[in-house]
């Protein structure tokens, strides 16, 4: 167990390292830079000298490798640098945006885990009307574009009926009810696809397990269908399903970028879009860092649940 | 190590029967064609392709032609799907927008499939660190938030659709890589791949013959999912105005962006484009599903249907009919599978009696219906299989017409089953002890602790040297011989009166085979348990059984005591089987002494099923169906020339 955690730690560090480095390279390839963006937002026109001074002040006149080294040095001291525009520490800015994003992501994983897995099992085991209905629901959830659904839901439930706020986010600490109302529409929007995806994968996994020889043998030994399905088939089908939930969480990091934009939720995704537009490198890399940490933790959870679910992993 | 057959030949009788499993590519296409939803999906995709390709010819006016007199007009005769806020024809814009979508998806798909499959295979087959490295890098790329990478790519190449789509393919391909690698690893571990390795197949041939066919299903599912995702992502980026902005002409995404501006005045505008997007995504998903279902083939269908079928059959039995003194009496048992429009009979008119404690062998080549016959007695036919006639009386109950509820009293505690591959018959996720205890407690009122003790006792009964150690093992930690002993212990847990042993030694090493046979004989004597042994090995048969029935192409062709059959076979097929090899080779595709092979159920000849391969055949053999007759007391043969046999006296 200790060795396992140590290995996870090492691979996580490698991952953080690789992804932030990659982000540095990609971001530096983008035309334009932060100095230009700041100067033109401040006064509109500026001299070449002002521009060079600004670049120097921001530290972006140095070679990329040096910039990355400084950044790493900062990380070692618990700092992700400062937002080039607001001058605030990046960690402080992103920490404030963590809760809204996590609310959306975890809310959606929860909905997908409960509704998607149940629908998937039902659809794998039942033919007939119920199975068909599940198929149709998951097909619709899968096919409807999230931004379209966001528009439709907002128009219907926020503008016409006014049941939920169309935009904005209320912190959980400020008002739990407000928080719930605020994240309902974005979570609903994200859940359509997530539930469909989870249901489909659960169904495939369940159907595959149900076709295996040991299921026939379990029935031959006289076990009830209930036990065969809920104890044995589900346990074996759970292994790929857990992977799917992990992948879903990663996919949702991307999904929130779009949905936070539509519903004006002040989360990490919205910050990423703004920062990408204004070449705010510390913020871009910071968001990538935060996202990677979330992914790494999700991976650890998936890995640990493998160990519980799949005995063949114990030994290796 | 015993030679292990390739997957196609390894299909036991029960699987060979429904020819949905067998089908070649033509069959798969026909199966596909029978699904109306899949056809509709293909139809929609074709419609999108054709209308996008011929947009400049078919479209009513150009996509940018403004008609300011008819702004936001709604659907009508002039503009079938209405106009947008500049009076541009929505249908025309949809058709031109389709081009953007299709080209983008094609670009992404090519990159995704090429990289994903290649890297997945390499990572799956390269053992050790190279495989792990590829998988790790893949995981790393997957961990990159796709949308952020795409945002950055778009800021390097503003509005560039090609760059975006290639990037999307690259960063998504680890999804496919994972699936391909996972399946490859699983396949690699499977017995037949190991065997193929040992028998000297090269890596590439293993990939082509064993891996790729099994991968086709999962890969197609991934491709369809990804294509669908690509349509959505492309739509989203264009909706945000990042790729293919309005200035570059219409795309489905930017049309929705336009529509969102006037959503309160004209919500209709959301409908046509939203539907086009959703239908395309849906169609891709449906096509993938259909292909997956057709290639993956069989899985246990809902049990209710099969129950209903069985119940619908007129019950031909009376409880009083069971001969006194017999444990099981099978009369005229006939089994069919739904083969598309009509049922295909795979086992016809099988009859036999079994006394308590007796051991009966069912002999024949693969595909003769032995396993189907055996499993029908437990109500465990594969999906689509059902008994269409006959009865099987056991303890006053007709197994041929029994319900699931009836079988729940039969399975395990009256009739137990052990199968050919003991390893795949055990649940890989539970320890031996827990699987045994569950079965024991299912058949008795023992407490957990008592069940545990009983489990150890059962393992002792099957001669496993260290029961406590075995109890705490997982199936993958057992050898083949140990696994078969465990599955025998599982079969004994309910103290059954009949054990059906379906090729119990085929997958085992020769020395282990002998041990298992000794064990079965010992258990039979000690417990007074009857045995039905399904086998194609005369040696195994002679070791264990008193009597045997020989099956060919779904029918019983001969029945007699084992000694009599050995001494003087009264059916040409039996004679051929014996002449071929007293210890039949495990893979009996072709018998040297008998030309030809067993016909599939859909191609049974008229008259005697064996006559095309029979050297004694006369005109009469083909002209009428041959009944079972008794050439001597206690013997039966389905041959009208029993005296022509060499051994006949």
Rg for chain B, CA atoms, rounded: 32
B424 part of contact set with chain A, CB < 8 Å:
yes
pLDDT at B299 over 80: no
Q: What mean pLDDT do residues A24-28 have?
A: 78
- pLDDT of residue B582 exceeding 80, the answer is no
Residue B494 phi/psi, 5-degree rounding, is -95, 15
With CB atoms and an 8 Å threshold, state whether B274 touches A145: yes
Q: What percentage of residues in chain B have a pLDDT greater than 90? A: 38
Mean pLDDT value across residues A188-199: 90
Lowest-pLDDT choice from A228-232, B235-239, B261-265, B604-608: B261-265
ipTM > 0.90 (yes/no) = no
Lowest model confidence (mean pLDDT) among A155-164, B265-274, B592-601: B592-601
Reduced to 3 states (helix: H, G, I; strand: E, B; else coil), residue B63 is: coil
More confident site: B474 or A276: B474
pLDDT single digits (tens) A256-285: 888 898 899 999 988 887 887 777 878 888
pLDDT of residue A124 exceeding 60, the answer is yes
**Residue B468's pLDDT is what?**
92
Of residues A256, A248, A255, A261, the one with CA closest to residue A298:
A248
Question: Chain A closest CA to B639's CA: distance in Å?
Answer: 35
Which pLDDT score is estimated for B196?
61
| A128 pLDDT tier (thresholds 50, 70, 90) | low
Are the beta carbons of B430 and A235 separated by less than 8 Å?
yes
The SS3 call for residue B329 is strand
Name every chain B residue with its beta carbon within 8 A of the beta carbon of A217: 417, 419, 425-426, 487, 490
**B92 contacts B63 by C-beta, under 8 angstroms:** yes
Per residue in B47-92, pLDDT (tens digit) is 999 999 988 887 777 777 777 777 777 787 777 788 888 888 888 8
The CA-atom distances, in angstroms, between B229 and each of A29, B327, B339, B468 are 27, 60, 36, 51
pLDDT band at B313 (very low <50, low <70, confident <90, very high): very low
pLDDT of res. B198: 57
Q: Which of A165, A166, A167, A185 is nearest to A107 (CA)?
A: A185
pLDDT over 50 (residue A302): yes
CB distance from B425 to chain A under 8 Å? Answer: yes
Total Cβ atoms within 10 A of residue B106: 12
pLDDT band at A115 (very low <50, low <70, confident <90, very high): very high
CB contact under 8 A, A221 and B378: no
| Backbone φ, ψ for residue A87 (5° rounding) | 75, 5
Q: What are the beta bridge partners of residue B329?
A: B353, B393
Question: pLDDT tens across A172-187, in order?
Answer: 888 999 999 999 999 9
Helical packing angle, B146-156 and B161-189, nearest 10°: 150
CB-CB under 8 Å, B427 with A211 = no
pLDDT at residue B300 in the model = 33
pLDDT at residue A158, rounded to an integer: 85
Burial (CB count within 10 angstroms: exposed 0-12, middle 13-18, buried 19+), residue B544 = buried
Pairwise pLDDT comparison (B291 vs A102), residue with the higher score = A102
Least confident among A283-292, B231-240, B574-583:
B574-583
Give B393's strand partners: B329, B398
Angle between helices A117-125 and A128-143 (to 10 degrees): 140
Q: Is B270 in CB contact (< 8 Å) with chain A? A: yes
- Please choose, from the candidates B502, B637, B299, B403, the residue with its C-alpha nearest in 3D space to the C-alpha of residue A210: B299
Closest CA to B287 of B21, B29, B23: B29
Please state which of the ranges A30-39, A284-293, B543-552 shows the lowest mean pLDDT. A30-39
- β pairing state of B555-561 and B636-637: antiparallel
Q: Which residues of A touch B274 (CB under 8 A)?
A: 144-145, 148, 152
Using CA atoms, how far apart are residues B482 and B504, in angstroms rounded to an integer? 13
Distance CA(B432)–CA(B426), nearest Å, equals: 8
Q: Per-residue pLDDT averaged across B604-616, rounded?
A: 89
CB contact under 8 A, B380 and A219: yes
Binary contact (A254, B301; C-beta < 8 A)? no
Predicted pLDDT of residue B35: 80
- Alpha-carbon distance of B572 to B420, in angstroms, equals 28
Average pLDDT estimate for B389-399: 91
Average pLDDT value for chain A: 85
Question: pLDDT over 70 for what percent of chain B?
Answer: 84
Q: How far is CA B513 from the centre of its chain?
A: 28
User: What is the model's pLDDT at position B203?
Assistant: 66
* Selected residue with higher pLDDT from B193 and A197: A197
pTM of the model: 0.74
Give the C-alpha separation, A146 to B318, whole Å: 62
CB-based contact, B132 to chain A, within 8 Å: no
Range in A150-159, B339-348, B565-574, B590-599 with the lowest mean pLDDT: B590-599
pLDDT in tens, B410-419: 999 999 999 8
> What pLDDT score was predicted for residue B6?
35
Which of A217, A253, A278, A312 to mutate to test binding with chain B, by most B CBs within 10 Å of its CB?
A217
Range ranked top by mean pLDDT from B13-22, B293-302, B426-435 = B426-435
Mean local confidence (pLDDT), A205-217 = 89
Residues in B closer than 8 angstroms to A144, CB to CB, are 274, 278, 281
Pair type for strands B415-418 and B342-354? unpaired
Q: Which residues in chain A have their CB less than 8 angstroms from residue B279's CB?
A: 143
C-alpha to C-alpha distances, B129 to A128, B76, B117, B124, B153, nearest whole angstrom: 48, 64, 19, 11, 31
Task: Name the average pLDDT for chain B.
Answer: 82
Span A78-89, pLDDT tens digits: 888 888 888 899
């Amino acid at each position: 167990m200790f060795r396992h955690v140590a290995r996870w730690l090492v691979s996580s560090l490698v991952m953080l390292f690789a992804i932030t480095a990659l982000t540095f390279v990609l971001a530096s390839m983008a035309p334009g830079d932060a100095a230009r963006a700041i100067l033109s937002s401040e006064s509109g026109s500026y001299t070449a000298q002002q521009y060079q001074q600004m670049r120097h002040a921001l530290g972006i006149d140095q070679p990329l490798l040096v910039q990355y080294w400084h950044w790493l040095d900062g990380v070692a001291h618990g700092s992700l640098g400062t937002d080039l525009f607001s001058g605030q520490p990046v960690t402080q800015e992103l920490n404030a945006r963590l809760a809204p994003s996590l609310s959306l992501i975890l809310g959606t994983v929860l909905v997908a885990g409960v509704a998607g897995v149940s629908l998937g099992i039902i659809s794998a085991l039942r033919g007939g009307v119920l199975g068909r209905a599940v198929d149709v629901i998951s097909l619709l959830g899968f096919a409807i574009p999230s931004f379209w659904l966001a528009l439709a839901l907002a128009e219907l439930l926020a503008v016409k009926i006014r049941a939920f706020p169309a935009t904005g986010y209320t912190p959980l600490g400020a008002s739990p009810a407000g928080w719930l109302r605020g994240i309902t529409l974005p979570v609903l929007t994200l859940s359509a696809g997530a539930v469909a995806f989870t249901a489909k994968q659960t169904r495939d996994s369940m159907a595959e397990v149900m076709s295996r020889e040991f299921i026939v043998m379990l029935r031959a030994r006289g076990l009830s269908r209930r036990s065969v399905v809920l104890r044995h088939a589900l346990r074996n089908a759970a292994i790929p399903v857990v992977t799917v939930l992990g992948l879903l969480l990663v996919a949702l990091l991307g999904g929130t970028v779009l949905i936070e934009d539509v519903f004006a939720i002040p989360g990490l995704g919205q910050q990423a879009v703004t920062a990408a537009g204004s070449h705010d490198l510390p913020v871009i890399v910071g968001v990538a860092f935060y996202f990677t940490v979330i992914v790494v933790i999700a991976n650890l959870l998936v890995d640990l649940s493998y160990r519980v679910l799949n005995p063949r992993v114990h030994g290796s | 190590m015993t030679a292990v057959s390739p997957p196609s030949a390894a299909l036991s009788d029960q699987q060979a029967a429904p020819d949905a499993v067998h089908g070649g590519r033509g069959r798969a296409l026909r199966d596909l064609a029978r699904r109306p939803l899949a056809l509709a999906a293909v139809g929609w995709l074709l419609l999108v392709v054709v209308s996008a390709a011929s947009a400049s010819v078919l479209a009513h006016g150009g996509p940018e032609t403004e008609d300011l007199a008819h702004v936001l007009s709604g659907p009508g005769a002039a503009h079938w799907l209405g106009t947008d806020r500049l009076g541009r024809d929505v249908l025309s814009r949809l058709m031109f927008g389709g081009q953007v979508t299709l080209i983008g998806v094609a670009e992404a798909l090519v990159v995704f499939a090429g990289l994903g499959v290649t890297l997945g295979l390499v990572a799956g087959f390269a053992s050790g660190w190279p495989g792990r490295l590829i998988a790790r890098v893949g995981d790393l790329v997957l961990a990159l938030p796709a949308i952020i990478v795409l945002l950055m790519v778009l800021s390097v190449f503003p509005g560039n659709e090609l760059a975006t789509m290639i990037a999307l393919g690259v960063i998504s391909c680890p999804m496919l890589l994972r699936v391909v690698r996972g399946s490859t690893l699983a396949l690699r571990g499977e017995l037949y791949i190991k065997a193929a390795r040992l028998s000297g197949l090269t890596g590439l041939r293993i990939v082509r013959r064993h891996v790729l066919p099994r991968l086709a299903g999962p890969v197609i599912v991934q491709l369809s999912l990804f294509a669908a995702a690509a349509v959505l992502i492309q739509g989203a980026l264009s909706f945000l105005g990042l790729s293919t902005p309005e200035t570059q002409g219409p795309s489905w995404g930017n049309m929705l962006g336009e529509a969102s501006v006037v959503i309160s005045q004209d919500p209709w505008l959301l409908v046509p484009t939203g539907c086009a997007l959703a239908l395309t995504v849906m169609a891709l998903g449906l096509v993938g599903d259909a292909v997956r279902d057709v290639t993956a083939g069989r899985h246990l269908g809902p049990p209710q249907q099969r129950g209903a079928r069985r119940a619908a059959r007129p019950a031909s039995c009376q409880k009083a009919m069971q001969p006194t003194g017999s444990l099981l009496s099978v009369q005229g048992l006939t089994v069919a599978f739904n083969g598309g429009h009509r049922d295909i009979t795979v086992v016809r008119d099988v009859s036999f009696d079994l006394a308590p404690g007796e051991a009966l062998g069912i002999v024949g080549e693969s595909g003769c219906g032995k396993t189907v016959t055996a499993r029908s007695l437990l109500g465990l036919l594969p999906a689509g299989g059902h008994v269409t006639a006959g009865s099987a009386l056991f303890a006053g109950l007709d197994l041929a017409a029994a319900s699931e509820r009836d079988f729940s009293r039969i399975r395990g505690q009256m009739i137990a089953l052990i199968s050919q591959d003991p390893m795949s018959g055990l649940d890989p996720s539970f320890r031996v002890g827990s699987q045994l205890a569950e079965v024991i407690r299912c058949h008795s009122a023992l407490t957990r602790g008592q069940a545990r003790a009983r489990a150890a006792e059962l393992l002792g009964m099957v001669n496993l040297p260290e029961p406590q150690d075995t109890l705490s093992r997982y199936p993958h930690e057992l050898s083949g011989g140990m696994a078969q002993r465990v599955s025998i212990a599982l079969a004994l847990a309910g103290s059954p009166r009949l054990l059906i042993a379906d090729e119990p030694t085929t997958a085992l090493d020769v020395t282990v085979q002998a041990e298992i046979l000794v064990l079965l004989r010992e258990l039979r004597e000690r417990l007074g348990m009857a045995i039905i042994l399904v086998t194609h090995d005369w040696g195994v048969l002679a070791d264990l059984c008193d009597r045997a029935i020989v099956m060919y192409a779904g029918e019983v062709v001969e029945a007699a005591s084992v000694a009599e059959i050995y001494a003087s076979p009264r059916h040409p097929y039996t004679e051929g089987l014996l002449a071929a090899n007293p210890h039949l080779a495990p893979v009996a595709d072709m018998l040297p002494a008998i030309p030809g092979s067993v016909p599939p159920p859909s191609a049974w000849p008229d008259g005697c099923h064996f006559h095309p391969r029979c050297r004694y055949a006369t005109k009469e053999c083909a002209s009428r169906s041959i009944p079972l007759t008794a050439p001597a007391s206690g013997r039966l043969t389905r041959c009208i020339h029993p005296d022509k046999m060499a051994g006949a006296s």
